[in-house]
Chain A
Amino acid sequence: MYTKVKLENLNVHFGSNHAVRDVSIDFPENSVTAIIGPSGCGKSTVLRSINRMHDLAPAARVTGKILLDDSDIYDKGVDPVSIRRRVGMVFQKPNPFPAMSIYDNVIAGYKLNGRVNRAEADEIVESSLKRVALWDEVKDRLKSNAMELSGGQQQRLCIARTIAVKPEVILMDEPASALDPLSTLKIEELIEELKEKYTIIIVTHNMQQAARVSDITAFFYLGELIECGETRKIFTTPDQKQTEDYITGRFG
């Protein structure tokens, strides 16, 4: 399978804290890779280095390579903005823009960049909302404020906003951890559908969720990648003792 994103000897430091240690891992295209591990193991830090979100934290230092289609996104002269247009991100807490309508939230990626053609926008909004199965719930109130939606709807709106700008990779940072079980189920179904078109990397605390949605699972502990492989294998016959201890709930 084609490797969409490849991490080579990635290290991330925050000041004197060595948060991610020498991580190398391949993320195949059109598949879901789950990153699991106890709190503070560096899984979110790895995720946020893939769309250069650390650029804004002055204390963060990223070394090593992250290849997106074989070119290093940390090369000199690479504009982080152009990377973020190709690598979208969904956050832990639903974060729609509070001052915008549902419609404006979906089209925000275009509108904030100053280019919108009315007819084109209508089409993007409709297809994006249909894709996240939110269209039927909101089509009659596209102009109402996004904050009126429930938490689960808000998170699907955020996913719609992310896919509206047509990324190639979608990063998800515990996208369902703030949601109720039914909304979580909807998000998981959505992830299943989205992988046909995108490369998805999801950080999750919930091991059942990792087992349900992912094709590949990577286990992190104390900033290091302990084990990575097919999800079924990781959850049934892991090679490493630490992985087994974690998934069977002996620690973490």
Chain B
Amino acid sequence: MRSVTLRKANNLLMTALMVAATLSVLVPLAFIFVHIIKMGLSSISLDFFTQIPKPTGETGGGMANGIVGSAVMIAMASLLGLPIGIFGAIYLAEYGGSRISSVIRFAADVLSGIPSIITGMVAYTLLVVPMKGFSALAGSVALAMIMIPIVLRTTEEQLKMVPGSLREASLALGVPLWRTSLKVTLRSAMTGVMTGILLAIARVAGETAPLLFTALGNQFWSRKLTEPMAAMPLQIFSFAISPYEDWHRLAWAGALVLVTVMFSLSLAARYFGRSRQKG
């Protein structure tokens, strides 16, 4: 009888501990969300999406150039990074000899663990210095370098989950391995691959450090990819540390938009992941 009481008490204690642990994760998240929404909603307006920042001293203005800049650089980074990541994954999953594959896998894991500011420095050395100027191009390359290992590893995992019988069915019809990889294996894994791509985009959408000395940021519209370009996280950063009340408000609005975008991307990734499980 006593042991039962003891066991129940023990159970209660453990449950309480786990609930506490869960809450300690959720509470800061909820706090951040609530605070950003509260501060963001009171600052956001249509101008935020259509205007570029006003000179200091004038009120109003928005982050239109940052929104477009982020979109452009993410698009270019995807253009560079997704093919490399996806084709690399096909090589690892379908072709690679065990020796080279393990080297590539290790390299990708190390690359994804590198602090993003270092990635920015690499892009600075490779592009900004020789081109003698900060540019959207350098920013995109830095973002692509962050995307590649994420896309590579998630895609590889997804490709490996495709049953071998499908590959064999295609090969036995006289379809070459490269066509089989693209049209059968990759297509079968597409929903899972999409999840990885969306997560990679969500990750780089919020990156600030690698853009600091590549894209640099811009108070105005950029006309060329070889010019410095504004980006949302950069603008949030520089506005938030500025001494002007009006710029603080823009930073809050920017934070709200950025968090909303990333939240939607994560939701979309989950949706893809779920529709895959249903088959």
Q: Is the CB of B169 within 8 A of A97?
A: yes
Name B172's contact: one of A89, A96, A113 (CB within 8 Å): A89
Segment of A50-58, A125-133, A134-142 in the binding face: A50-58
List the B side residues contacting A81 at CB < 8 Å: 174-176
Q: Is the CB of A84 within 8 A of B179?
A: no
Interface residues on A, range: 20 to 34
Given contacts A97-B184, A114-B179, contact A109 B173 (CB under 8 A): yes
Q: Mark A158-187, 1 if CB is under 8 A from B, else 0.
A: 100110010000000000000000000000
Chain B nearest CB from A124 CB (Å) reads: 13
Name A162's contact: one of B97, B172, B180 (CB within 8 Å): B172
List the A side residues contacting B279 at CB < 8 Å: 98
Given contacts A58-B97, A95-B165, A113-B179, contact A108 B188 (CB under 8 A): no
Q: Is the CB of A95 within 8 A of B169?
A: yes
Whether a CB of chain A sits under 8 angstroms from the CB of B168 is yes
Q: Is the CB of A53 within 8 A of B172?
A: yes
Chain A residue, CB-CB nearest to B179: A112
- A113 to B177, alpha carbons, bound, how many Å? 11
Whether a CB of chain A sits under 8 angstroms from the CB of B187 is yes
Chain A nearest CB from B184 CB (Å) reads: 7
List the A side residues contacting B163 at CB < 8 Å: 95
Q: Is the CB of B166 within 8 A of A109?
A: no
Chain B nearest CB from A161 CB (Å) reads: 7
Whether a CB of chain B sits under 8 angstroms from the CB of A42 is no
Chain A residue, CB-CB nearest to B97: A58
Within 8 A of B (CB), among A72-110: 81-82, 84-86, 88-89, 91, 93, 95-99, 108-109
Given contacts A112-B180, A113-B179, contact A95 B168 (CB under 8 A): yes
Chain A residue, CB-CB nearest to B174: A85
Q: Is the CB of B165 within 8 A of A165?
A: no
List the B side residues contacting A112 at CB < 8 Å: 170, 173, 175, 179-180, 183-184
Whether a CB of chain A sits under 8 angstroms from the CB of B111 is no
Given contacts A53-B168, A91-B165, contact A161 B173 (CB under 8 A): yes
- A109 to B179, alpha carbons, bound, how many Å? 11
- A114 to B183, alpha carbons, bound, how many Å? 10
List the B side residues contacting A91 at CB < 8 Å: 165, 168-169, 172
Q: Is the CB of B173 within 8 A of A56?
A: no
List the B side residues contacting A98 at CB < 8 Å: 166, 188, 279
Q: Is the CB of A113 within 8 A of B166?
A: no
Which residue of A88, A112, A165 has the most chain B CB atoms within 10 A of its CB atom? A112
- A90 to B169, alpha carbons, bound, how many Å? 8
Q: Is the CB of B166 within 8 A of A84?
A: no
- A81 to B177, alpha carbons, bound, how many Å? 9
Name B173's contact: one of A53, A84, A93, A114 (CB within 8 Å): A84
Chain B residue, CB-CB nearest to A84: B174
List the B side residues contacting A95 at CB < 8 Å: 163, 165-166, 168-169
Whether a CB of chain A sits under 8 angstroms from the CB of B72 is no
Which residue of B98, B174, B179, B180 has the most chain A CB atoms within 10 A of its CB atom? B174
- Which residue numbers of B lie inside 8 Å of A, CB to CB? 97-98, 163, 165-177, 179-180, 183-184, 187-188, 279
- Which residue numbers of A lie inside 8 Å of B, CB to CB? 51, 53, 56, 58, 81-82, 84-86, 88-89, 91, 93, 95-99, 108-109, 112-114, 158, 161-162, 165
17 contacts between A and B (CB under 8 A): A53-B168, A56-B167, A56-B177, A84-B171, A84-B172, A91-B168, A95-B169, A96-B169, A97-B166, A98-B279, A109-B173, A109-B175, A112-B170, A112-B173, A113-B176, A114-B179, A165-B174
